[in-house]
Amino acid sequence: MTELINQNGSFEIEIIELINPSPLKNGPINIPKWVKHVRAAMEGMLTPHFGTGIIDEFFSRLIQKLLDASEELESSHRDKIQLFVVLKRK
């Protein structure tokens, strides 16, 4: 990643590090709570296109689908790595 940024020449690396977000989370994922956060962020964009009734149904179904797949979600959430990069334009 560093090599690609340096080859580009437009940016200078301020910070680059690998982080594991999992230690910040305690216990299982609260799926209904997580979906409420997603809905709060996305509802304003989706409602004008699809209407309130469809949005209500969509998020209700999303909660159920995620609850059905909760074991897979939990196992795939652990021991993840994120690349955190802060760039400054030259």
Contact 66, 35 (CB under 8 A): yes
User: Can you give the residue range of the structural domain that contains 43?
Assistant: 2-89
The pLDDT score that the predictor gives to residue 24 is 55
HSE-CB at 32 with a 13 A cutoff on CA atoms is 1
Give the total number of structural domains in the chain.
Answer: 1
pTM of the model: 0.54
Cβ neighbours around 65 below 10 Å, total:
12
Per-residue pLDDT of the chain (90 residues; tens, 9 = 90+): 889 999 999 999 999 998 876 655 666 778 899 899 999 999 999 999 998 889 999 999 999 999 988 877 666 556 667 888 999 998
The pLDDT score that the predictor gives to residue 30 is 86
**Residue 28 φ then ψ, to 5°:** -70, 160
Which amino acid, residue 85?
V
